Amino acid sequence: MVIDLAGTSIAAVLQNVNLFVATTRIAGVERETGQSLSLGNSRKRKELQSIINPVHLAGLKAIKTELFRMCRSHGTRIEILGAWGVPRGPLSDRLTERLRGMAARWETLTDALAAHWPQLVRDWIKENPEYASDISRLAYSAEEVRKKTKFVFASYVLLPEQIEACALDDEFDTLPEQACREFAVQIRDTYDDIGTPKWETKSYQAHAARALLSAISHKANGLGFLHPHIAGIPTVLDLVLAELPAAGSIAGLEAIGLRHVLDRLCNTRLLLSEGLQMPGNSSKTAPANSSDPSNPKTGNYDW
């Protein structure tokens, strides 16, 4: 496979990924009252009235956050298409399976929310008697709650010849950088689980750290066609994982080495310019490519 100096081609991307679109809608806890407050200088602000306690949407909002992080951990965002590009094969299949499970959990929570909705409205009126009239007038029915609370996703494939757009290649040029930035955000999202990678850190949680590195390795393996140094990330991470304990804490030199790897994965510029290196040995850098030109993930690159 050849990637020219212009960057990652549309054909290279679309031949290697499935496109996933996933979205959620939640019946809001606030509705406009039809009135507004004057802010001066002819500016006005619409008045909103809450109709149930927002705490009852916490479960759905947690799934919404989980949805975004799950898609990011499996693929990279292609903004111009409004979709996540997920490498075809095991990662794509795994994401589909997990999205189905997430949709089932969402439906269970929606059913419970709709069933309890009338009581939730009555409870909110009791807590806010001064707004009882507005709450009663603005509250959704249980059926409206079901219609306004949805979890939907779809997976599709586009052929390069089906795309007609001006300068679309420019949008795809930035995908390697975006994928690397997503590695960094993915790492930062797990700081509470693995421990913050700072010099004063004494130890890391082994199970959480291994899960994080494995997830990044799988994603990088599937997106290796975007850039040769992304293709090389799994080689180094496999070596790191082989040296880490399976459970308990990671401390001492192992913690320092892990911090080095996490720091490099969080540095997009160095990651793309120099690749990921084994901690403690700058000569052990992930190979930029493979000699097998038939493999689109690790084939020859012409820079």
Within a 13 Å sphere around the CA of 70, how many CA atoms are in the beta-carbon half? 23
Q: Is the pLDDT of residue 129 over 50?
A: yes
Between 48 and 119, the more confident residue is 119
Tens digits of per-residue pLDDT, 59-85? 999 999 999 999 999 999 988 889 999
Type of residue found at 249: S
How far is the C-alpha of 291 from the C-alpha of 13, rounded, in Å? Answer: 21
- 265 contacts: CB under 8 Å, gap ≥ 6: 180, 183, 184, 187, 216, 233, 271, 276
Q: Band of the pLDDT at 284, cuts 50, 70, 90?
A: very low
Contact 256, 279 (CB under 8 A): yes
Q: What is the pLDDT, as a whole number, of residue 46?
A: 80
Q: Band of the pLDDT at 165, cuts 50, 70, 90?
A: low
DSSP category for residue 21: E
Q: Band of the pLDDT at 43, cuts 50, 70, 90?
A: low
Contact 54, 118 (CB under 8 A): no
Contact 215, 80 (CB under 8 A): no
Q: What is the pLDDT, as a whole number, of residue 35?
A: 74
Q: What is the pLDDT, as a whole number, of residue 288?
A: 47
Q: What is the pLDDT, as a whole number, of residue 199?
A: 53
* Helix, strand or coil, per DSSP, at residue 286: coil
Report, as an integer, the average pLDDT of 186-190: 90
Q: Which pTM value belongs to this model?
A: 0.74
- Sequence-ordered strand ranges (E) for 51-173: 76-78, 83-87, 150-156
Tens digits of per-residue pLDDT, 204-254? 889 999 999 999 999 999 999 899 999 999 999 999 999 899 999 888 888
Q: How many residues appear in the chain?
A: 303
How far is the C-alpha of 107 from the C-alpha of 88, rounded, in Å? Answer: 28
Task: Mean pLDDT check: name the lowest of 90-94, 195-199, 225-229, 298-302.
Answer: 298-302
